[in-house]
A and B are shown apart, each in its own frame.
Chain A
Amino acid sequence: MPITFQLNGKKQTLDVAPDMPLLWAIRDFVGLTGTKYGCGMALCGACTVQVNGEPVRACVTPVNSIAGKSVTTIEAMVETKVGKVVRDAWIEAQVPQCGYCQSGQIMSATALLVKNKKPTDSDIDSAMAGNICRCGTYNMIRGAIKDAAQKLA
């Protein structure tokens, strides 16, 4: 039974196993590989996408649960108003090192800034707590979020 949803603003129909995580559906079947696999258990945040504007972990989200919903991935998020500012802040601060976690970091940061124009350090800690970075770019991430918040103010 094909599943239809909005992906990055376009209608997307996929005929895949209904329990297939959204992560593998968009990577293997749509070919968008900016969303990363890191743990498969919603522990690391590398696979963060937005479903109806909320950050979710695509690695544990069955594709049939998003039928009729709207999914945004990193590829389109950085073209949105807030996403673009966040990306520019990331480049300005030279945040990424290996970069593998950064799609997820940017997705979580964008979700935070859409809702909270002036995040405090503790807002940042809680919004970003689900995103692991093994290169330890956390302080640069914090700086870039604050910089983006200023530019959005």
Chain B
Amino acid sequence: MAVTRHRTRRDVIRGAAAVAAAALARPALAQAAPRIAVIGGGFGGAACARALRRLDTKLQVTLIEPNRTFTACPFSNEVIAGLRELPAQQFSYDKVAADGITVAAQAATKVDAQARSIALADGTTLSYDRLVLAPGIDMRFDALSGYDEAAAEKMPHAWKAGEQTLLLRRQLEAMDDGGLVVIAVPAAPLRCPPAPYERASLIAHYLKANKPKSKILVLDAKDNYSQQKLFEKAWAELYPGMIERIALSQGGRVTSVDPATNEIVTDFGNYTAAVANVIPPQRAGRIADIAGAADHTGWCPIDPVTFASKLVPNIHVIGDAAIAGGIPKSASAAAAQGRACAAAIVSALAGKAPETPRLDGACYNTVAPGYAFSLRGIYQPKEDQYAEAEVTTSPVDAPREVRQQEAHQALDWFKRITGDAFG
């Protein structure tokens, strides 16, 4: 620098006052690019981060996700049944980073909503203008008597894809022919509501080929479930006599489990499983609670138009963690919410009113190789909550060719949704 000048304290103060005055007069020009942090690199978080960059390349977007590899839940039931390997479910964040998004491979340990800062596990702190929470779910290890983290190593939930998925698969592979596989299903809300029944179907497929004397018992804390008629028809066609389901009003609600004996107790019965797949009640990922965004239910109330938390300022919640009315907790719904939330944030930063979202969700269930059906929904805000605007379910009486087509469509859907998020 050619010119140097001795700066007095008065100069500094004067300069600071001038900056402050400019900031008050023209906040948009005085500020640097808005900083958006996204916690959680699943389908919702990745879709949101990428959409933010796409809508406004000036935004500084940071995706905070401790896992360097994402393991997708959709199609993970096929891994359990030995029809697919886990690496086919795994995706890196390289392409997300290539979009100009800073990927912080750290767990967020604290959120200070007033100071708008996030503490990371490595001790660093990150400031934000807006925060999007996409933390997915955590198992409630305090909700089902006998079922804690240690019990999950004996009675896997396999409700987050990864090691748990492989553990359940190994247990099925090690089971003797004639064993009883028990699947315990919690009451709503849960991640991917039809997935327990897809799982029962695909485990039946594995057992039919490898251990045909075995049986599956579904102990269910619900009476009715999504696409029930389609599942029941498929079970009668493909796996007659192999899957028994005890619904809530038949005494199916599981009240306690014993990992030492693999015993599962309901209000009206006791069952000893050869393989016990216990899916416990769930709640929003823990960071949502730490941030103050979760209510007494364990989930996060949101404004359906902007996904803004109803409990804490400058924080949005998307995906499984959010209370989103009629929208099922699914990968495609999370991605759709992520994109809509990104649009709402960009509108808010520009001082514009948000557009009312119209969200698409698709949910494929594969009950055997080449046999799938689906539910597609369109969801819109209605009276402060999401409602189904249109829902289409596969016809119950469709010929097998239709199921075959849907099995191909399911694979295409998986390629598309993982490509959108990570490709």
A binds B: no
B residues neighboring A (CB under 8 Å): none
A residues neighboring B (CB under 8 Å): none
